[in-house]
Amino acid sequence: MVKKQSSMVWDMKTMFHCSIVLFFLGGLATLSFYRTDNLEVSSNVKVITLTTTTTTITTKSNTDTDTDTHMNTNKGTQVFDHQRRLKIAPPSLTETCDLFSGRWVHDNKSHYPLYKESECPFLHGDLACQTYGRKDSKYQRWRWQPHGCDFPRFDGKAIVERLKGKRLLFVGDSVNRNQWDSMMCMLYSSIPGEKKLGMGLNRTLYTFRANDYNISVDYYWAPMLVESNGDDPSNHRLDHRTIRVKSIEKHARHWVDADILVFNTYLWWRLPIIKLLKGPGSLLGGPNQVYDEIDNVRAYKMVLETWSKWVHTNIDPAKTKMFFMGFTATHSNAKDWGGKNRETCFKEKEPVMVDGFWESGTDPKMLRILESSLSKLKAKGVNVQLINITQLTQYRKDAHPTVHRRLWRPLTDEQKKNPQRASDCTHWCLPGVPDVWNELLLAYIFPSTKTAFQ
């Protein structure tokens, strides 16, 4: 009985040791097989390039011949995607460089200005500063230089090719119209064939159309995004702001078919009190108007919540790229940069060269609200890229129209005596600063790992 038990123990030990040896030998054989197989397949691997700004996956072969990556025909064994050695392309420039942190550099050898006023017949007279009397032109030749990197400089023909069949829509206030004017002028000379400018929807929609290329570059007037007493593009010089805080569909139904959406809203929120209309009363006032009054910061946050809900519900980020422009400076107080009291940007010829300069008219609290709203949307899977031009515009006190613009009504005698106070220090001469905004915007619309558009 003892011998039988001893024999059983010996047999179990033998089987255990044999199993270990067989397992070890099998592992070596498997390792050798996969090492050989992978070495033979690697020369036919395709490179998969991934970008964070699009759901499209493109493939590029690293050989001259297009081989079948799913089957090794020499050995007759199937090779699955997860077995291949993938080469991930380097991240795009917009992912590796802060394009919004930098300085302005005057460069006579650069390609600025990108166009001339005479080359853009559709340019609004409000922005054609040379046409309306401005003699100096140095403001047109400043280049934005990010710290430690560069961004793609404008190539009109390349951009036109990539915009074929697309609708690019700017939505917001007159500064966004300023940027739309800039984009229209940048593209104008690069688009062959017939080009038309049209207006519709009671002048709230401007359309620049290139029929041969099926390109539409549009602007929609909605200064507060939701319905407001500023919705009339011609009659909105009011001393108060009234909105329907949850009513956006009246405007937004005209945005849904755009391939690229560029939003902004800020200038109209600078009055300290905003009226929130309650009920069906008129936004323009009247005896039946009932409203609550709240501070502008809280109202701005509420409207961005309304806008965010609309974007999340109505826009497919896989089909439509979305951007939100940062705030732009209003250089109406020369004391900010060491000037005299009660003076403005009138006759300014040079940018501010103090790093980090911030003028008193730009509220950083509002910018933080915008950034927070975009972050919340991104957490829900909707990416609206902030084009944060706020700091770079702070320096450019030299680039506004002041009195060199088409005037909707003649200056009064008092204004003629004090051109400082009559100056437009909100909008921007063209060609000029907004052209750089569009170069930065295009770097995000068409991201590249190079410093020129592909």
The residues that are catalytic are: 174, 424, 427
Long-range contacts of 36-44 (CB under 8 A, 24+ apart): 37/72, 37/75, 37/77, 37/79, 38/83, 38/85, 40/72, 40/74, 40/75, 41/72, 41/79, 41/83, 41/84, 42/85, 44/68, 44/69, 44/72
Q: Are strands 142-146 and 102-106 parallel, antiparallel or unpaired?
A: antiparallel
Within 10 A of 97 (CB to CB), how many other CB atoms are there?
A: 18
Distance CA 355, CA 349 (A): 18
* Spatial separation of the C-alpha atoms in residues 303 and 111, rounded to whole Å: 40
Joined tokens for residue 133: 């009397």
Residue with tokens 């500023």: 230
Q: Encode 355-378: b = buried (16+ Cβ within 10 Å), e = exposed.
A: eeeebebbbeebbebbeebbeebe
Q: Which residues contact 106 (CB under 8 A, 6 or more apart)?
A: 138, 141, 142, 143
Secondary structure of residue 47 in the 3-state scheme: strand
Neighbours of 381 (CB within 10 A): 9
Nearest alpha-carbon partner for 233 in 292, 171, 179, 289: 171
Q: Which residues of 420-437 are buried (b: 16+ CB within 10 A; e: fewer)?
A: bebbbbbbbbbbbbbbbb
Q: Are strands 167-172 and 260-263 parallel, antiparallel or unpaired?
A: parallel
Tokens at 103, concatenated: 């300085």
Residue 4 C-beta-side C-alpha neighbours within 13 Å:
1
Strand, helix or coil at 268?
A: helix
Integer Cα distance of 416 and 422 in angstroms:
8
* Beta bridge mates, 290: 278
Give the three-state DSSP class for 211.
helix
Distance between CA 80 and CA 37 in Å, rounded?
12
Asked whether 134 and 424 are in contact (CB, 8 A), the reply is no
